[in-house]
Structure 1
Amino acid sequence: MTERQALVVRGGWEGHHPVEATDEFVPHLKEHGYTIRIEDSPAVYADGAYMETVDLIVQCVTMSTIERDELAGLIAAVENGTGLAGWHGGIADSYRSSSDYLHLIGGQFACHPGKAPAERKGEQADNFVPYRVEMLPAAAEHPITQGIGDFDLVTEQYWVLADDYVDVLATTTQAVREWDPWHRPVTSPAIWTRQWGRGRVFVCTPGHDMDVVRDRNVTTIIERGMLWASR
């Protein structure tokens, strides 16, 4: 098997367990012939010579910031064929102040509507609600989602702002509850891909904590999505 290069960039808000979550997938990548480099900031993206050698970027950086030369390096790498993959806030809620990053990803976390106000206790679980990830017809034959049907989770349900250049494999619909200010259900992409230059982008919005990352369906989708995105 030809050895390939995977770069794992992790950091940002610790509530998404960037170290533990990415460590969960390192063995999978090694089994598929990748040499792994791990960095704790996006500074590596500015190293153009190195980025030319990278086949796959796995990013798990929630919020945080990115410098102009770092973002330019990331975009150039993807345009030249490097794959970019991630889940939850590690890719869909990164670098909020950068419109060019949002343009690359195609979808941005907006909120995760939580429980009824009377049920909230001031903790992360306030935002954990039961919801369904619904596969679209395109998912049936796609290598990331083939054989996976609709499935249910109890975790943060991402309301995503997206454009129509994303290729959506699965959606989730935010219902209207009596305490919500919106007046009709809102459907957001939950799993999508995006072609950018010669590169591929893969995003899975479930993945808030290790319980979700280890859900059989979520694990399979992320494992396949990384391989699909790779050069």
Structure 2
Amino acid sequence: MSERRALVVRGGWEGHAPVEATELFLPFLRDNGYEVRVEESPEVYADAEVLGATDLIVQSVTMSEISHDQLKGLRAAIAAGTGMAGWHGGIADSYRNNSDYLQLIGGQFATHPSKEPSLCCGAQEDNYLKYTVEITDLGRKHPVTEGLEDFELDTEQYWVLHDDLIDVLATTTHPVQPYHPWHRPITSPAVWTRLWGEGRIMVATPGHSVDILEDANVRTIMERGMLWATRTVSA
């Protein structure tokens, strides 16, 4: 069997520690038979030869920008069978100004509600909340999340704008608080998959910091998700 090829693309906002976060998963990929290439920007997406030979893209690029040729290459590669996986802002808050990227991923970060205002001090921790990730009925049967139970995290809780082409494996619900303007609980997808042409995409919204990625449940979801998203058709 030929070795599978994984392309790790990282960069963007340093607050999500793209280098440290992606380094966490490199041994797993290599141990599972992937030849790993690491790039520090999405420039590689414009290289059709490289992407055509790539079985899995792991992206951690928060915000930042992507050119027309880079996005065209990424979309074409996924439609032809290259898989893509990522977590948190590295995939669900990338290239905010590009609507074609948002369509590709199927869900976009909108906000992460904060603590009660009197408890906020202007640090990232203002947005750390205790919340539950709830596995859906579909998720209890899906290879990415099968066997996992609902679990709690204390970190950013993503509010996600999304469409119904995604398959939601886990959700999280934002409660009504007197200091927030919404009037009923809002449920957002926390883990989802998306079929795009011949390709597969897997997104998990937890992962703001390395310690959250090291959580046993989150790490299991990401590792299984990378394997699931990997190319299933011949290049």
TM-score above 0.5? yes
Distance 2:150 2:115 in 1: 22
Per-residue deviation, residues 39-76 of structure 1 (Å, max 9, x unmatched) = 00000000011110000000000000000000000000
| Corresponding letter in the other structure for 1:122 | G
Residue ranges of structure 1 left out of the alignment (5+ in a row): none
Contact 1:107 1:163 in 2 (8 A): yes
1:68-83 residue pairs with structure 2 within 5 A? 68-83=68-83
- Residue 98 of structure 2 corresponds to 98
1:56-205 residue pairs with structure 2 within 5 A? 56-205=56-205
Distance 1:139 1:183 in 2: 28
| Corresponding letter in the other structure for 2:99 | S
- Residue 38 of structure 2 corresponds to 38
- Residue 9 of structure 1 corresponds to 9
Distance 2:11 2:50 in 1: 20
Offset of residue 139 of structure 1: 1.2
Percent of matched pairs sharing the same residue: 62
Distance 2:2 2:136 in 1: 34
- Residue 221 of structure 1 corresponds to 221
Distance 2:114 2:180 in 1: 10
Distance 2:58 2:50 in 1: 15
Per-residue deviation, residues 11-48 of structure 1 (Å, max 9, x unmatched) = 00001010000000000000110000000000000001
Residue ranges of structure 2 left out of the alignment (5+ in a row): none
Runs of 4+ in 1 over 6 A off after TM superposition: none
Offset of residue 140 of structure 1: 1.4
Distance 1:3 1:100 in 2: 31
* Secondary structure of 1:51's aligned partner: helix
Per-residue deviation, residues 144-169 of structure 1 (Å, max 9, x unmatched) = 00110100000000000000000000
* Secondary structure of 1:140's aligned partner: coil
Contact 1:2 1:33 in 2 (8 A): no
In the alignment of these two chains, the number of paired residues is 231
Q: TM-score, normalised by structure 1?
A: 0.99
- Residue 53 of structure 1 corresponds to 53
- Residue 210 of structure 1 corresponds to 210
Per-residue deviation, residues 82-105 of structure 1 (Å, max 9, x unmatched) = 001000000000000000000000
Distance 1:28 1:146 in 2: 20
Offset of residue 2 of structure 1: 3.2
Per-residue deviation, residues 86-136 of structure 1 (Å, max 9, x unmatched) = 000000000000000000000000000010110001100000000000000
| Corresponding letter in the other structure for 2:225 | G
Per-residue deviation, residues 188-207 of structure 1 (Å, max 9, x unmatched) = 00000000000000000000
Q: TM-score, normalised by structure 2?
A: 0.97
Distance 1:35 1:210 in 2: 23
| Corresponding letter in the other structure for 2:228 | W
| Corresponding letter in the other structure for 1:168 | V
